[in-house]
Structure 1
Amino acid sequence: MTTLTTEAGTIQRMRETFVHTLDRAMNDDPRLALVLAATALGPFARTALTHPNRVVNVGIREQLMITTAAGLALTGLRPVVHAPALVERAFGQLKTDLTHQDAGAVLVSTGASHDTPEQGRTRMAPGDIALLDTLPGWTVHVPGHADEVPRLLAPALTGGDRVYLRLSTRGNAAARPVGQGLVVVRSGSRRAAGTVIAVGPMLDRVLAATRELDVTVAYLATVRPFDRTGLSRIVARAGHADVMIVEPYLRGTSAHEIAEALNGRRHRQLGLGTLRHTEIRGYGAPDDHDRAHGLDTAGLARHARDFFLD
């Protein structure tokens, strides 16, 4: 399996791990079917040759992908749908064909919010989790390392519910425990200023940005359902109930979840992510977008100091 070198170290590519995991699963489970757009067919060429009756390429028609997946699910198959920017481009079908019919499927996207800006605005999809938040019954995973992908994907493949797996081209230097909600990575003292939640690939940057602050840092790879109980327990042990969350998608997406988790407890919260109501028209590189949204290490450190030391 190939690797990708980042400032944080060397990490395996999430998408290649997904392809490998699904290819093996399709050999063992005749219920699995794969629905692709033309642009995502290449990595699955071998799978398509091995299982020609269970790999469907609909062309560059994301809406048709979801409708096809719903039809397959209603016949008893377990469809896996893979394409970039999948949720934003086919939201109407997600609402009516899958959710309204209570049909199960596994959706896997790649490219995240601005991982591949050179491919244009249509591939930038920071609003995907916020959109799915308007629909009932979705489980949403945002892994931060390639080794986390099989651990999150395997239960989804054998299930029957609606699951969204959001892959990124970037990530953390090491895998963390997943499948159990919030995981404390760094504990603050009993006088800690508060708690920072790092979602998926944001963890290493958050750890670097907060290394001089007395805060608890918790990692989260499954963002829906949100681990409200886990957050309440972490905050109960901390010196203050203030919470900062760093998400690799639309800023404030999980604000309502934190509010529900800490209902009845006085607290402040700060949500960081891609900016709302800001249209960045220069494509640039991923690091350029991180800086523009305040998601680079320096930007996160500035926000954290202003929030916790105010």
Structure 2
Amino acid sequence: MAKFMPLSQAVAENLKDGDTVAFEGFTHLIPTAAVHEAIRQGFKDLTLIRMTPDLIYDQMIGMGMAKKIVFSYVGNPGVGLLRRARDAIENGWPRAVEVEEHSHAGMANAYEAGAAGLPFAVFRGYRGAGLAEVNPNIRSVTCPFTGEKLAAVPALRPDVTFIHAQKADRKGNVLVEGIIGIQKEAVLAAKRAVVTVEEVVDDFADLHPNLTVLPSWTITAVSVVPGGAHPSYTHGYYIRDNASYLEWDEIAADRDKFRDWMQKNVIEKTADDFAGRVTHLRKTA
């Protein structure tokens, strides 16, 4: 059952060196505050899973926290490549990183298999693609009913998943609105799940019953971090900070500039600083 606690405590109690961890969010609701807390606590040898690694994974990779990344797209959305990830993959700085690349369909099905407690996912995919030639975890099976050859990938079962969401009620149920992505499946597939939220409310009584609600029994810890998705957006709370994504490309291009920025903007900050970062981005829902 979900417990409410400060983010620093939630990260310390649920993330360990060597863990396989997913920090999931698609377009918005990216759990930046949780990543920054993990960076401050200095975890290492992590296997990072995410369908769309962007700035937060660039930061963790650049800080030497990742030994492997499992992904289906890697880049600074709307801007270009991830320079710290590329430096690690091509030059081994600050350490070499193993890569396991999939398609979006492969990752989504693998999360769903993990959420269902299955050992692998079976789907139609990778036909005419070359990913299977470089990724030994992409295999094939023959349907016992039709004889059709299908793609198969191992289920994704993170040790811990972190997501950001709009609201939690006082029982620890979590409401996710807007573009959902794969967050629900990533939570259900994980051994532990930590959710940062914009606010806590009494209940969800006035909302549509078909909205995505993660029940409290699927959540390990809830931390209230207003602005915790910045520079991505949180539907109904604040818009995307496009300037930060453009700025990151310049920051990440230089190793020393990157280190200086991380020291000033992450290491020396706390989760409480996020609320102030989005004041000018807030809008009426």
TM-score with structure 1 length normalisation? 0.27
Relative CO higher for 1 or 2, CA cutoff 8 Å, sep ≥ 6?
2
TM-score with structure 2 length normalisation? 0.29
Higher helix share: 1
